[in-house]
């Protein structure tokens, strides 16, 4: 391992230079005007894999964005690690809020700023660099590895699910390694063992054929903005409980042990509120902040559109109003079941004065893992080597839809060794990755391969 570690130390600057090139590609999966860039990014990933020394490098076309695969499977008798990550990124708007352009990576105070720096390009790169260090220094890897890097994580991973189902024998692995999550706190490496699921909708209301003069017609027809606000507001009560009938029925309650473990983590509501710039925290009554984020479902309004919002005043009753809403789900809620409950309830409460269109968008299932898998121990030791500190065990509020698929179809446990940070600004302006974590992540990944390979 010494030569592997010194290789990683010597190549520190080159890793950053590679990451800069990776981050320059605007692979925004949700925006079709970027389809060419997204495809170019898939080929960039494939080229990186070739340079690292991985084999069977292939870019698979899908009905959406390509999936990139490669492997090095020449360690018979050793475990097989499937490394998963995504090269697609979230949209960048509002652009004016970025201090430097999102696809012109800039380094300030030891952090690299660009869309995708933390989510997830910087985090996938660490595993390429780790594999390369082993291959270049030892001519081999201590484990078998398969890399599966997709371009549709930010839009629900539907094509990947189909791909895994179709190639389950070939993708068979003992453990899935994923870095696509933040650490609990700066300097505190974390292994994440739970994620929330997601159920997403667009709601459209139409009140009349066209916008109307609010003096001539106001009072005679319902206003879609008003109705939308009333409907949305009714979906959560004053205690922060979602009011959709049956919504909580399958929620797996937190065990007393888990609640205790959460309480032991170094977390302060006051500090958290201050960091977020929130005058006060708010959430479901009876639960702590970490419990609310990690183990309780929520209903959120992501955006509302309707009526006149320009300069000055305009007296108008808008014809239409729209909202994007989403529900974060926890074990054992099923997105399909929740979708039915939501649609039934929303159609029921929508007044006859509105024409309602409910459009389901992407989603994902929640996931929680057991902590007694040998790969979890290997990850824990690897983090200790890479960051000089034992990791804490966390759950997360975000979603990685494919993780539940790995569990169901490949029957493989996932180990989430994220090296992002809570203030990484993922999905927001000024996304960044701490370069110390980037380097520590490469070391940790190299140690993970080594420890797992010799644990067998």
Classify 15 as helix, strand or coil. helix
Active-site residue among 153, 154, 180, 291?
A: 153
Nearer to Zn ion, 92 or 446 (CB): 92
Q: Which does 398 bind (CB under 5 to 8 A by kind): ligand BES, Zn ion, none?
A: ligand BES
Cα(170)–Cα(163) distance, rounded to whole angstroms? 11
Q: Which does 394 bind (CB under 5 to 8 A by kind): Zn ion, ligand BES, none?
A: none
Active-site residue among 88, 132, 152, 154?
A: 88
Q: Binding pattern to ligand BES, positions 153-182, x when CB under 6 A?
A: xx-x-----------------------xxx
What's the longest Cα–Cα distance across the chain?
Answer: 81
* Contact status, residue 142 vs residue 72, Cβ threshold 8 Å: no
Nearest residue to Zn ion, by Cβ distance, number only: 119
Window 215-274: residues binding ligand BES (CB under 6 A): none
Q: Which does 27 bind (CB under 5 to 8 A by kind): ligand BES, Zn ion, none?
A: none
Whether 153 sits among the annotated catalytic residues: the reply is yes
Q: Which does 156 bind (CB under 5 to 8 A by kind): ligand BES, Zn ion, none?
A: ligand BES
Q: Strands (DSSP E) along 261-385, which ranges?
A: 298-306, 316-317, 320-329, 355-364, 367-368
* Partners of 203 in the β-ladder: 323, 358
Nearer to Zn ion, 119 or 152 (CB): 119
Binding Zn ion (rule: CB under 5 A), the pick from 88, 111, 119, 174 is 119
Query: Which CB contacts under 8 angstroms, 24+ apart, belong to 165-171?
Result: 165/405, 165/409, 168/409, 168/410, 171/82, 171/146, 171/410
Q: Which does 364 bind (CB under 5 to 8 A by kind): Zn ion, ligand BES, none?
A: ligand BES
Whether 424 sits among the annotated catalytic residues: the reply is no
Q: Which does 102 bind (CB under 5 to 8 A by kind): ligand BES, Zn ion, none?
A: none
- Per DSSP, the chain holds a count of helices (H) and strands (E) of 14, 19
CB of 369 to ligand BES, least distance (A): 14
Classify 147 as helix, strand or coil. strand
Nearest to 244 by CA among 201, 180, 193: 201
Nearer to Zn ion, 71 or 119 (CB): 119
Nearer to ligand BES, 181 or 298 (CB): 181
Cα(10)–Cα(6) distance, rounded to whole angstroms? 6
Given the rule CB under 6 A, which of 42-50, 64-72, 206-214, 396-404 is the region that contacts ligand BES?
396-404
Binding ligand BES (rule: CB under 6 A), the pick from 224, 386, 401, 441 is 401
Site for ligand BES (CB under 6 A): how many residues?
16
Q: How many CA atoms lie within 13 A of 188 on its CB side?
A: 14
Helix, strand, coil % over all residues of the chain, rounded to 5: 40, 25, 40
Does position 146 interact with ligand BES (CB under 6 A)? The reply is: no
Task: Kindly provide the b/e burial profile for residues 144-160, where b requires at least 16 CB atoms within 10 angstroms of the residue's own CB.
Answer: bbbbbbbbbbbbbbbbb
Q: Name the residues that contact ligand BES, by CB under 6 A.
A: 119-120, 153-154, 156, 180-182, 198, 362, 364, 396, 398-401
Q: Name the residues that contact Zn ion, by CB under 5 A.
A: 119
């Amino acid at each position: 391992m010494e030569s592997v570690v010194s290789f990683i130390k010597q190549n520190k600057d080159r890793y950053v230079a590679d990451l800069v090139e990776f981050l320059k590609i605007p692979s925004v999966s949700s925006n079709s005007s970027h389809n060419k860039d997204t495809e170019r990014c898939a080929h960039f990933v494939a080229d990186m894999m070739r340079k690292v020394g991985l084999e069977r490098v292939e870019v698979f076309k899908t009905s959406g964005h390509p999936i990139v695969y490669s492997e090095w499977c020449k360690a018979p008798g050793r475990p097989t690690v499937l490394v998963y990550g995504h090269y697609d990124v979230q949209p960048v708007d509002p652009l004016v809020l970025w201090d430097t352009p999102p696809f012109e990576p800039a380094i300030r105070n030891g952090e690299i700023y660009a869309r995708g720096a933390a989510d997830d390009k910087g985090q996938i790169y660490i595993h390429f660099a780790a594999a390369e260090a082993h291959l270049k220094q030892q001519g081999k890897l201590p484990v078998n590895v398969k890399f599966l890097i997709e371009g549709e994580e930010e839009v629900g991973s539907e094509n990947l699910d189909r791909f895994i189902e179709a190639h389950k024998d070939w993708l068979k692995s003992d453990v899935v390694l994923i870095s696509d999550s933040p650490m609990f706190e700066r300097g505190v490496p974390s292994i994440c063992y739970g994620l929330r699921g997601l159920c997403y909708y667009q709601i459209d209301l139409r009140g009349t054929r066209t916008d109307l003069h609010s003096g001539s017609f106001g009072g005679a027809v319902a206003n879609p903005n008003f109705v939308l606000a009333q409907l949305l507001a009714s979906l959560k009560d004053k205690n922060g409980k979602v009011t959709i009938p049956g919504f909580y029925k399958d929620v797996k309650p937190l065990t007393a042990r888990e609640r205790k473990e959460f309480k032991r983590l170094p977390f302060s509501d006051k500090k958290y509120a201050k960091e977020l710039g929130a005058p006060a925290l708010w959430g479901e009554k009876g639960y702590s902040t970490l419990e609310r984020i990690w183990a309780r479902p929520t209903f959120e309004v992501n955006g509302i559109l309707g009526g006149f919002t320009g300069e000055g005043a305009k007296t108008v009753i808008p014809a239409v109003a729209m909202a994007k809403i989403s529900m974060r789900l926890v074990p054992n809620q099923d997105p399909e079941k929740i979708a039915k409950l939501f649609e039934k309830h929303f159609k029921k409460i929508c007044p006859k004065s509105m024409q309602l269109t409910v459009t389901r968008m992407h989603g994902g299932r929640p996931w929680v893992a057991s902590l007694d898998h040998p790969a979890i121990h290997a990850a824990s030791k690897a983090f200790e080597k890479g960051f000089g500190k034992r990791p804490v065990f966390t759950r997360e509020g975000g979603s990685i839809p494919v993780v539940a698929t790995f569990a169901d179809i490949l029957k493989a446990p996932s180990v989430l060794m994220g090296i992002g940070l809570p203030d990484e600004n993922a999905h927001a302006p000024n996304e960044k990755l701490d370069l110390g974590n980037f380097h520590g992540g490469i070391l940790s990944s190299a140690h993970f391969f080594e420890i797992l390979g010799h644990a067998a």
